[in-house]
Structure 1
């Protein structure tokens, strides 16, 4: 049975570029998944006549913002359809609207009906970060962040960031279909950064994966002065991995996300495709 993946594209205020969306299509081709593109456009709630008289040109500004949002979604969906034809990816598209405060929630709710979610990532684009946070912590589905700087390559070597925690174990379980496709798996464990539940946690996971017929090895990494997320991503890249699997630490507090250090680091500086699971 073919797996189904979702790419949510929130078009307000700053959607991802067509090139980032094209990277997602390329990765969908590598993973042999059917891809559904959901454009979520902004729909401002009506304002009272009294308020509109006080705020000059507010109705015109709202109409302009909504029109720009729709135009951006049309452009991105057209570009994605062209890329899908080139890659041979089975693709469907849909468009929804939501108020500004509920754009991320709308995408996350829709994502719950798919096996996997892709989020296109652009540095210095608050909309892409908002989308990532909403999906990772609100959808309950494994989410692959796809950076703008990386072009699609075969996912044949997967690295796992492993600390023996619940969310790390959840991420490994969610990534099982991808691990089964990989020719090689590297289990990365940071030593000296924080207490681990077991001294041989990485080796135990590697052995467990080997018992399932997977080619896995444990790799211990000494903690460095740079952020943990940078250390994990750089070591994974150095080893030749094309996907990093890790647990997403965080919780919502009055609609603001309080993130773990490694998760915050990935959200701030994404260097490679990363599968996050919460």
Structure 2
């Protein structure tokens, strides 16, 4: 049975990059997934008054913005379909219009019907950041963040960020489809970021994975003065992993997300593909 993967494209006010389409198709081919892509276009209400209509022609500006959003969405869907066809990946596409404030909610609600989501990440792109947060914390499904400037390598080595917590355990369970496919797993535990309930937590998980027939090793590191997200990603990259699995720590507070340190660090500066599960 193929994995069913949801791919939301944001188009306004900041659009996903073309690279996201290529990365999504490449990863889907490696995990034998079927893609379901949706371009979420802007639906901008006309709240102008008589003066603004006369001075700025607000309705025309709104029409231009919505048209640009639709065109960008069509471009991204067509590009993904081409990339998917080249990779031999099955794909369906659709479009939906939503108010700008609801883009993330629309993506999260649609993501609930699939096994996982691929979400594009571009530096300084607030729209993709908002969408990523909404899908991670609102979909109830695992989310793979795909950075614009990081190519998808052959996925035969996966790293796990492990601290023995419930959220980390949920992430490992949600990544089971990946762990069973790869030839090597590195369990990374940062020793000096926060108190750990179990000193040997990393080795215990590695042992549990080996008992399931998986090739897993425990890697203990110290962050020292380095941010936790940078430590985790850099260690995973140095070990040769093509993807990092980690729990998404955070909760919503009146539409503002309160994030854990590692989660916020990854969302601020993504160096590699990361699977986040909340």
TM-score tier (shorter): over 0.9
8 Å contact 2:53–2:59 — kept in the other structure? no
Kept in 1, the 8 Å contact 2:48–2:58? The answer is no
The 5 A counterparts of 1:57-206 are 57-206=57-206
Mind listing any 5+ residue stretches in structure 2 that lack a counterpart?
A: none
Aligned to 2:255: 255
CA distance in 1, matches of 2:163, 2:137: 20
- How far apart, in 2, do the equivalents of 1:61 and 1:158 lie? 47
SS in 1 for 2:56: coil
Matched, 1:277 2:255: no
* CA distance, structure 1, for counterparts of residue 205 and residue 113 of structure 2: 30
**Partner residue in 2 for 1:33:** 33
Cα distance, 1:20 vs structure 2: 2.1
Q: Would the alpha carbon gap of residues 202 and 55 (structure 1) be closer, same or farther in structure 2, given more than 3 Å must change?
A: farther
Q: Per the alignment, in what secondary structure is the counterpart of residue 270 of structure 2?
A: coil
Query: 1:228 Cα deviation (Å)?
Result: 0.6
- Checking the alignment, whether the CA contact within 8 Å between 1:137 and 1:251 is kept in structure 2 is yes
Q: How many residues align?
A: 278
Q: Give CA deviations for 1:127-186 in whole Å, capped at 9, x if unaligned.
A: 111111111011111000011122222211110000011110110010011001110111
Contact 1:250 1:257 in 2 (8 A): yes
| Structure 1 residues without counterparts, runs of 5 or longer | none
Q: Which whole-Å CA distance do the structure 2 matches of 1:270 and 1:223 have between them?
A: 17
CA distance in 2 between counterparts of 1:51 and 1:168 reads: 55
1:208 is matched with: 208
* 2:3 corresponds to 1:3: yes
Q: How many angstroms apart in 1 are the aligned matches of 2:150 and 2:99? A: 32
Mapped contact 1:7–1:38 kept (Cα < 8 A): yes
Contact 1:52 1:59 survives alignment (8 Å) = no
Asked whether the 8 Å contact 2:187–2:219 carries over to 1, the reply is: yes
Between 139-148 and 40-49, report the one with greater CA deviation.
Answer: 40-49
Name the residue aligned to 2:21.
Answer: 21
Q: Deviations over 1:171-211 (max 9, x none)?
A: 00100110011101110000122111111111111111111
Tell me which residue corresponds to 1:265.
265
Q: Alignment partner of 1:181: what SS?
A: coil
In 2: Cα distance, 1:114 partner to 1:20 partner: 19
Q: How far did 1:60 drift?
A: 1.1
Contact kept in structure 1, 2:154 and 2:242, CA below 8 Å: yes
Provide Cα deviations, 1:73-124, integer angstroms capped at 9, x if missing partner.
0111111111112111111101011111111100100000000100111111
Distance 2:60 2:25 in 1: 36
Q: What RMSD in Å do the two structures reach over aligned CA positions?
A: 1.4
Shift of 1:261: 0.6
Preserved CA contact (<8 Å) 1:135 1:143? yes
- Hey, what's the Cα distance between the residues in 2 that align with 1:155 and 1:222? 26
